[in-house]
């Protein structure tokens, strides 16, 4: 692709790296300190509109500031589920193609960047099998599993390779993940070698656990109810320029397949204070994550590397509708509780879209995506409507690092990279995007081809939407355009056979 290649050459020239930097493996040199550091931050079960800079009422000043000084994507996609997203973002492949825990057919970002001289660090939720130390990371702190108490580390916690336990009564996962990330940055950030930090928070994934002082900030704020707050988020998204006013907001729930129980109008809710508390705790978890991201940014400034550090922030899937309340007599918040919010508040989190985590309608797989890189992004506060996907993160990291994706690694043939670099977009250009993008999880399937999206829940009939006219997926055109449905369904089946996904 000519645009990407030229952009990359210009970038490498600007930072003092020549054509030799495209070759791997590469010995560390004085030029390494000019290569950008990379910080990839992943939230867990965060909805499209939860952040302030994406229309939400939750206080997220640090992420808002990164957006104001950087770039926001309005159409960025994940894999709609925790582990699939992590497999995909770390490898640049569709998750059906790879298994980081056991697979020999893939490399992780860490393995690829170590080949070009990067120190590789990870703190947080792993959830892809195996251990980070076996997949190219130099340092690790966090949980190998998918969910745990925020106040008591479970048996999957590790510090590097060793089991981790603590008697610290002030332990809280979001703080602890940041504490160790800061420690790792102190160890490496003053050296000439560039670093890659993957910071994978488990917030705001259930259980609803938050610190009392954070919860108190939000008590009573949700007494207005999900109907009023969803309308306000929708209006703010339009004002911010993230969505088009011609896209009608989806109705409350908007789930014709009845995957979850109907969401009642707020005025019919009996225990409004209990609902307010659920969402107050959820908001507090997001707030605490943002506070800790602020600590990371301050550390980068302290190390005097902030201008040449590429920060990317996104979520692994949309808001979670699952009701998994194991302690119904204990309210959400403290360590002894195990509560979730449900589809009612998840529908608010995913404003203005339909459906939730695990589904491939926009409510499940659309994510905020914030990019901050002062040395490269010159039009600060900009919003791009170009489409991106998490498979693009690996290609982007290699592009900015001057590396190449290997065809073999440790004697094994590596699956060809699926993603495309986002660097042209960061640099203010239009890139040649994907001809098509594909999704499948639990037989929930989708294809995005230009402005068209084909999507279905399970084995229900395909639905077809014009994403330029109707990104909220309300006007199904499948009955009017059967030829387009057939064309895209064939595309899906070709991809599904190639990637070993569920067939249409």
Q: Which residues are catalytic?
A: 82, 127
Please give the backbone phi and psi of residue 113, each rounded to the nearest 5 degrees, phi first: -75, -30
Measure the CA–CA gap between 404 and 21, rounded to whole angstroms: 9
**Rg of the Cα atoms in the chain:** 22
Give the CB-side neighbour count of residue 208, counting CA atoms within 13 A. Answer: 31
- DSSP, collapsed to helix, strand or coil, labels residue 333 as strand
Instruction: Determine if the peptide bond prior to 204 is cis (ω within 30°).
Output: yes
Antiparallel, parallel or unpaired: β 366-372 and 71-77: antiparallel
Two tokens at 437? 């993008």
Q: Is 82 within 8 Å of 66 (Cβ atoms)?
A: no
Give the residue among 346, 367, 342 at the shortest CA–CA distance from 356.
346
Q: Which residues pair with 454 in a beta bridge?
A: 447, 464
Q: Name the CA dihedral angle for 240, 244, 248, 254, rounded to a multiple of 10 degrees.
A: -80
Per DSSP, the residues of 416-468 read PP-----HHHHTT------S-EEEEETTEEEEEETTEEEEESTTSPPEEEETT
Provide the token pair at 153.
């580390």
């Amino acid at each position: 692709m000519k645009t990407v290649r030229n952009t990359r050459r210009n970038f490498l020239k600007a930072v003092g790296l020549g054509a030799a930097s495209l070759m791997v493996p590469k010995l560390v040199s004085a030029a390494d300190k000019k290569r950008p550091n990379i910080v990839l931050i992943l939230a867990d079960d965060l909805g499209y509109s939860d952040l302030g800079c994406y229309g939400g009422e939750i206080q997220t000043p640090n992420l808002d500031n990164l957006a104001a000084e950087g770039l926001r994507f309005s159409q960025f996609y994940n894999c709609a589920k925790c582990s699939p997203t992590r497999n995909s973002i770390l490898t640049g492949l569709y998750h059906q193609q790879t298994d980081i825990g056991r697979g020999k057919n893939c490399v992780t970002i860490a393995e690829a960047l170590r080949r070009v001289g990067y120190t590789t660090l990870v703190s947080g939720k792993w959830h892809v099998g195996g251990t980070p130390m076996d997949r190219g990371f130099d340092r690790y702190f966090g949980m190998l599993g998918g969910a745990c108490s925020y106040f008591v580390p479970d048996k999957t916690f590790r510090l590097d390779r060793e089991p981790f336990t603590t008697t610290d009564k002030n332990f809280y996962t979001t703080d602890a993940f940041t504490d160790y990330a800061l420690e790792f940055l102190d160890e490496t950030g003053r050296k000439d070698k560039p670093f890659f930090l993957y910071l994978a928070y488990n917030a705001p994934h259930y259980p609803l656990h938050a610190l009392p002082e954070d919860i108190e900030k939000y008590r009573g704020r949700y007494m207005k109810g999900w109907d009023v707050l969803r309308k306000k988020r929708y209006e703010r998204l339009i004002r911010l320029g993230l969505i088009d006013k011609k896209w009608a907001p989806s109705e409350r729930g908007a789930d014709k397949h009845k995957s979850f129980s109907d969401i009642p109008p707020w005025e019919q809710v009996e225990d409004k204070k209990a609902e307010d508390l659920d969402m107050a705790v959820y908001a507090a978890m997001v707030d605490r994550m943002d506070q800790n991201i602020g600590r990371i940014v301050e550390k980068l400034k302290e190390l005097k590397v902030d201008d040449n550090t590429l920060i990317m922030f996104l979520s692994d899937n949309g808001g979670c509708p699952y009701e998994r309340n194991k302690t119904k007599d204990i309210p959400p918040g403290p360590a002894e509780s195990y509560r979730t919010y449900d589809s009612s508040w998840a529908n608010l989190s995913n404003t203005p879209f339909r459906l939730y985590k695990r589904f491939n309608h926009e409510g499940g797989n659309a994510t905020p995506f914030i990019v901050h890189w002062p040395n490269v992004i010159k039009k600060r506060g900009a919003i791009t409507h170009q489409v991106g996907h998490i498979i693009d993160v690996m290609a982007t990291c290699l592009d900015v690092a001057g590396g190449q994706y290997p065809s073999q690694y440790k004697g094994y043939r590596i699956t060809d990279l699926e993603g495309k670099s986002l660097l042209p977009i960061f640099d203010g250009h239009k890139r040649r995007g994907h001809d098509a993008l594909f999704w499948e999880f639990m037989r929930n399937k989708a294809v995005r081809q230009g402005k068209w999206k084909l999507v279905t829940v399970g084995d229900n009939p395909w639905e077809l939407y014009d994403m330029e006219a109707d990104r909220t997926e309300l006007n199904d055109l499948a009955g009017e355009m059967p030829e387009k449905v057939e064309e895209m369904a064939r595309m899906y089946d070709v991809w599904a056979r190639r990637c070993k996904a569920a067939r249409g």
